Amino acid sequence: MAASFSKNEKLGLPSVALTAISNVCVMQARWWLCATPSTVPNKIIFLEHTGTLWNQTTLTPGVIDFILYVKKSGRRCILLTNNSRKSNEQYYEKCRKLGLPVEKSDIICVAQVAANALLKTGMQGPLYVIGEEGIAIELSKVGISSLGIGASIQNVLVGYDSQFNYVKCMKAATLIGRGCKFYATNEDAQLPAPDRIWPGTGSVVAAVRVASGKDPIVFGKPHKAMFDYLVETAGICAEDTAMVGDR
């Protein structure tokens, strides 16, 4: 499957839509990276984790060669993910175990983007979170506590939660209905899976949205908050970037 180039209007950067990156060989990647800068800005290559670099614990064929070629060509790879199950450190450990030639500073997860964006809002008091360990770790790094439910809660954050249920949806919708701000890590409807449909964060967010009647502020790709975080932390600009992903 050949790569197709398109403009991502929400992020304001060019993206490479690959429906099956496993069919993109190193030769094609080299052709892409050697494209003229005016057509494909390519100083920094964003790579999506899940569904692109790997599926669960299986690396996509050619990924290591691709990353090594990018580095050898004088460019940088930054690995991005909308999956909030793990923290930045946990994703780095996974990359290390899989043998990917990347540094910790090359990995950005949506949980850390959300935590830093929430910190910038100047929010006071604890946060009601639907999510897993990754969100809790990244929130604790910036001094934000997450609790179940209480009068002092003014914000609700919804991320991926494999234990999501009716009670959690009820709590979130009730808080939002009382005036709490509604945030979400991302709106991806499904997680990549070879043999079944795994509902993603977007499915959880949709339930809370319908129950509360409110729309969330979203932090993950393709929304602007993710790229704003990259600009701030990595000092990059849109004209220097391209992205490889599965959606």
Question: Is 149 in the same domain as 233?
Answer: no
Q: 89 CB contacts (<8 Å, ≥6 apart)?
A: 104, 137
- 88 inside domain: yes
pLDDT of residue 196: 84
Give yes or no: residues 61 and 78 share one domain: yes
Written as six digits, the tokens of 185 are 């890590």
Does the residue 3 lie in any domain? no
Tell me whether residue 54 is in a domain: yes
How far apart (Å, rounded) are the C-alpha atoms in residues 143 and 146?
A: 10
Stretch 153-182: mean pLDDT: 95
Residue 46: which domain range? Answer: 17-109+227-245
**Do residue 121 and residue 192 come from a single domain?**
yes
pLDDT at position 42:
59
pLDDT band at 147 (very low <50, low <70, confident <90, very high): low
For 39, other C-beta atoms within 10 Å of its C-beta total 9
Higher pLDDT, 140 or 36: 140
Q: Are residues 126 and 71 in the same domain?
A: no
The structural domain count of the chain equals 2
Answer yes or no: do 100 and 151 share one domain. no
Residues 94 and 149 in one domain: no
Which DSSP category does 50 fall into? Answer: B
Q: How far apart are CA 131 and CA 184, in angstroms?
A: 10
| pLDDT on residue 178 | 93
Distance CA 241, CA 190 (A): 26
Which of the pair, 78 or 21, is modelled with greater confidence? 78
Domain containing 66 — which CATH number? 3.40.50.1000
Q: Is 7 within the bounds of a domain?
A: no
Whether 8 is in a domain gets the answer: no
The more confident residue out of 44 and 185 is: 185
Is residue 140 one of the residues assigned to a domain? Answer: yes
The rounded percent of the chain whose pLDDT value lies above 90 is 43
**Domain contains 1:** no
Summarize pLDDT for 168-212 with one digit per residue, the tens: 999 999 999 999 999 999 999 988 777 788 899 999 999 999 999
b/e string for 154-184 if b means 16 or more Cβ within 10 A? bbbbbbbbeebeeebbebbbebbeeebbbbb
Whether residue 222 is preceded by a cis peptide bond, meaning omega within 30 degrees of 0, is: yes
In a domain, 9, yes or no: no
pLDDT, residue 149, reads: 56
Are 124 and 169 part of one and the same domain?
yes
Task: Retrieve residue 113's tokens.
Answer: 């983007």
pLDDT digits (tens, 9 = 90+) for 80-131: 889 999 999 999 999 999 889 999 999 999 999 999 999 999 886 789 999 9
Question: Exposed, middle or buried by CB within 10 Å (0-12, 13-18, 19+), for 116?
Answer: buried
Average confidence (pLDDT) over 9-17: 37
